[in-house]
Structure 1
Amino acid sequence: MNIKDIMSNNPVLVKPTTSVKDAAAYMAREGIGFLLAGADDELIGTLTDRDIVLRAVATGKDLENTTVADILTDDMLYCSEEQGVEEVARNMGEKQIRRLPVVNAQKRLVGVVSLGDLAKHLRPETAGKVLRDISMKYSAH
């Protein structure tokens, strides 16, 4: 099974010029903690609720005048829609991340895959290892 078979389609991109306040409000309204930043189907970075807390709120930035581009993570990891579920799960565990943008062969954004998406399709031993690896990152902070 490949990532394209389980990923969430129609990823939402926020513009890099969006204020952090508006991005946080969107996250709250949609009940999500992760946004992709870019234009059209070109990804320039990711923004998590944790990024907002650590890079904006904790440092006292003005949330109305600070933009997504100011605090996003641009050291992006992503996977291909053609990669296997087990391989991507192992990579996510090793890198200790919960969500990955998915790109096609032309490196254009086509979706997002989350740990929850993967967990439904993994062998129990793989799922357990990935969860332990990712949990180590969040328990260390």
Structure 2
Amino acid sequence: MATKIRDIMTAPPRTVSPETDIVTVARTMRDDDIGAELVTDGDELRGIVTDRDLVVRGIAAGGDPGKIKVGDVVSGVTATIGPDDSLERAAQIMRERAVRRLPVVEDGHPVGIVSLGDLAIEKDDDSALADISAARSNT
């Protein structure tokens, strides 16, 4: 059983520039079957953009989605975790901050991402969340 974040994180993380339009990001998420990308400026983490951000802050706000930039809808990073931190620490941070995903940062640079589903699969593989997280996409 995994004990460290590096054992279950998705690496390398998908990253996107704040200048990328939200349609491009939405297509990448669809094609790669992911729900979030880290927003970076060069090698520096600026935030995280989720599929929900694209819909709620982007499309629902109106305007031309092809002209709305990720930087306009990005969620700021409220917490990060290191690759050598424990799974329990990740669960604690997610609970305290009410987030479903954490960027994994090492030496100030994003090296991965870990989700609530990743933790569920590893810690409680009989749970409904683990089953849903491990299932193949229905799209």
Give the TM-score band, short-chain normalised.
0.7 to 0.9
In structure 2, distance between residues paired with 1:59 and 1:66: 10
- Aligned AA for 2:85? Q
Structure 1 spans left out of the alignment, 5+ residues: 132-141
Contact 1:56–1:62 (8 Å) recurs in 2: no
Q: Which residue of 2 aligns with 1:47?
A: 49
Deviation string 1:29-77 (CA, Å, 9 cap, x unpaired) is: 1121111111443211110111111111111132111100111012432
Match of 1:65 among 60, 64, 67: 67
Structure 2 spans left out of the alignment, 5+ residues: 130-139
Contact 1:81–1:103 (8 Å) recurs in 2: yes
Q: Which residue of 1 aligns with 2:111?
A: 110
Q: Which residue of 1 aligns with 2:137?
A: none
In structure 2, distance between residues paired with 1:121 and 1:2: 11
> Aligned-pair RMSD on alpha carbons?
2.0
Provide TM-score, normalisation by structure 1. Answer: 0.79
Contact 1:86–1:122 (8 Å) recurs in 2: no
Matches within 5 A, 1:78-93: 78-93=80-95
Q: 1:123: how far off? A: 6.1
Q: 1:120: how far off? A: 2.8
